[in-house]
Structure 1
């Protein structure tokens, strides 16, 4: 039985961006991005009270939970396959930063001077312009550009989605530490991490420290889903009997709804694991047509990065429209930018990552062969 036959079985070697994708993860990422767009669309139009909730969380949070659950599983799998710090770090950086730099530069250097209430010279001379660029590129989230969108329903927020990238990057740094432990206790380490971040997420807001412009209480709410995804991946590696089952996913989801309604004090403990399990069960399946969602490109990250400034730009240029009109405009424009980002920024970066993986494998292969002992020895 191969890893493709058994989706819970860890692949035997590094997997590159060019490898065949035969699961539903790409589709779920699109779903997550659309949920974020829907939630943000209502908030930016001044209708935050109208945002639907699921399990007690607004739509945009559910969308981010989907991203973090998938990421926890796949990033843990990535380190488990390679265990090469350089390859791992380069792969993670090449996935996050090129598209981030693209959206930050276009926003600050094209959209900013176009819509700012300042003159072009005033805008570019203002220290806030360069601060926006350099802070966001180093993941120190900065929301404002000089004179940009001061009078919108949700004023002065240029790209409110960027703060989660630093939260995600910290997860990338944390994953290798799980593998310090022997294989048989790694799931316990992930479980302890899950408990710790849940406790941190429950810290009163006024007591929560801020690190690198992010309130740790808010970050921990996202970390819980990443930790749950990592835990489920490690369980699948450690125990041959572990499977992602549809009936278990349904039962867990029902339990999460019951707990969120009847005992919200314990909602995150149950929801993080239940949502991650359900997301991974759906994601690891191979549904016809849905499994080919990214056959033209993986546009989910670009949609996520571009939708917020596009939503603000649409409101700035056309006013607050009916939500149906707003969403058509936002999704259409954001998708165009996501396509540009994928073909001209992200895909070339992923090809570079794949080249690094192949070179690393070639260098380590001779050393590995030299260590093999002949069967007759």
Structure 2
């Protein structure tokens, strides 16, 4: 991650990961899915609602910058693969290996077809398998082993979408125009309710692709328009005004419009205004946000299975355990994997020939 100055993005992602665990603790413990923020705002927000959208805003911002720095598409995708898949593969493997300790089913564990398909289906992303029959079947939130995986296919889809800008990335104005039009299109669909979208025959688009895509597009658009170049004084003014308008819109008919326009500005303004003590948090503990996110749900389900915790106990216990697992994941899996980013396992040269994209594979594990 490279920007013009120190920032709080790693801290914000860490905060958002914790927010997801807080919200999940309620339904996983058998309570109504209404966390502290939900109760305070009379059901208008929940922590995970803001957190997931904040994740996608920051991702859109940073992934667009990564695309700008990438030498070719192979370089871009290799870095994305290293960031997502090694840690994901390990948590999936651990799930299957430790599964027998929470398994209750008449079918022998290794004879259960779902056990054999769990890892390959989830690594394929677009066939997410949430359960293995017999695991957590007696929990309040039955069967789901890792419900947090649902956002990862959408995240990777955004990577594919933004990578299409690679061929015009040196042309700033066309890039901004494409991102602006994409943002406006998705924002229009997001502001419409689901019933209205069906009437307009937009059912071919997955609702969450719209819901999350608009925030990713907003983050990319603000990166392309060089939001990082705005002075800290002006950023602070923008943050205060945007936050005030966002809070004012709570419970109002304009809330959907306010969320897709103001939330990205709020998140990125908070990220670009460095705060002493938190802007360098990853230098001390590492980037734990992804690890907390992918370990949190199965940790919570396991704690409920063995100890039947209420949501308050579950929040604090699962945060501690998930943070420890995330730290180990960062030190042993994620950080070592990211050191391989200068390797090119499949150098791909993409050329346009008579309107056809031809892919030539040359070499294996060559240095850049």
- TM-score w.r.t. length of structure 2: 0.83
Question: Could you tell me how far 1:210 is from its partner in structure 2?
Answer: 8.6
1:46 corresponds in structure 2 to: 30
Question: Could you tell me how far 1:240 is from its partner in structure 2?
Answer: 6.8
Kindly indicate whether the alpha-carbon contact (under 8 Å) linking 1:108 and 1:145 is maintained by their aligned counterparts in 2: no
Question: Could you tell me how far 1:320 is from its partner in structure 2?
Answer: 2.6
RMSD: 2.7
Over 3 Å counting, the alpha-carbon distance change for 1:255 and 1:334 in structure 2 is: same
2:58 corresponds in structure 1 to: 70
Question: Could you tell me how far 1:203 is from its partner in structure 2?
Answer: 5.5
Q: How does 1:16-27 map to 2 (within 5 A)?
A: 22-27=6-11
Residues 1:333 and 2:337 are matched in the alignment: no
2:277 corresponds in structure 1 to: 289
2:216 corresponds in structure 1 to: 226
1:304 corresponds in structure 2 to: 293
1:314 corresponds in structure 2 to: 303
Q: Which of these residues, 141, 147, 153, is aligned with residue 154 of structure 1?
A: 141
Kindly indicate whether the alpha-carbon contact (under 8 Å) linking 2:16 and 2:52 is maintained by their aligned counterparts in 1: yes
2:156 corresponds in structure 1 to: 169
1:178 corresponds in structure 2 to: 165
Distance 2:300 2:203 in 1: 28
Question: Could you tell me how far 1:138 is from its partner in structure 2?
Answer: 0.9
Distance 1:302 1:170 in 2: 20
Kindly indicate whether the alpha-carbon contact (under 8 Å) linking 2:235 and 2:273 is maintained by their aligned counterparts in 1: no
Over 3 Å counting, the alpha-carbon distance change for 1:116 and 1:209 in structure 2 is: farther
Q: Which moved more, 1:309-318 or 1:176-185?
A: 176-185
Deviation sequence 1:287-308 (CA, Å, 0-9, x none): 1111121122111100000000
2:102 corresponds in structure 1 to: 115
Question: Could you tell me how far 1:286 is from its partner in structure 2?
Answer: 2.1
Kindly indicate whether the alpha-carbon contact (under 8 Å) linking 2:23 and 2:33 is maintained by their aligned counterparts in 1: no
2:122 corresponds in structure 1 to: 136
Question: Could you tell me how far 1:261 is from its partner in structure 2?
Answer: 2.1
Distance 2:297 2:91 in 1: 11
1:125 corresponds in structure 2 to: 111
Distance 1:251 1:177 in 2: 34
Residues 1:204 and 2:191 are matched in the alignment: no
Distance 1:324 1:236 in 2: 42
Kindly indicate whether the alpha-carbon contact (under 8 Å) linking 1:179 and 1:186 is maintained by their aligned counterparts in 2: no
Question: Could you tell me how far 1:176 is from its partner in structure 2?
Answer: 2.4
Distance 1:250 1:37 in 2: 28
Over 3 Å counting, the alpha-carbon distance change for 1:133 and 1:241 in structure 2 is: closer
Distance 2:29 2:203 in 1: 28
Kindly indicate whether the alpha-carbon contact (under 8 Å) linking 2:21 and 2:296 is maintained by their aligned counterparts in 1: yes
Distance 1:92 1:306 in 2: 20
Residues 1:254 and 2:244 are matched in the alignment: yes
Count of matched residue positions in the alignment of Structure 1 and Structure 2: 333
Deviation sequence 1:149-205 (CA, Å, 0-9, x none): 112111111101001000000111111223545421322211211122234444626
1:36 corresponds in structure 2 to: 20
* Secondary structure of the corresponding residue to residue 133 of structure 2: coil
* Secondary structure of the corresponding residue to residue 63 of structure 2: helix
Deviation sequence 1:202-226 (CA, Å, 0-9, x none): 4626949899xxx810232111111
* Secondary structure of the corresponding residue to residue 15 of structure 2: helix
Kindly indicate whether the alpha-carbon contact (under 8 Å) linking 1:198 and 1:268 is maintained by their aligned counterparts in 2: no
2:361 corresponds in structure 1 to: none
- TM-score w.r.t. length of structure 1: 0.81
* Secondary structure of the corresponding residue to residue 340 of structure 2: helix
Distance 2:28 2:202 in 1: 27
Structure 2's unaligned 5+ residue stretches are: 349-368
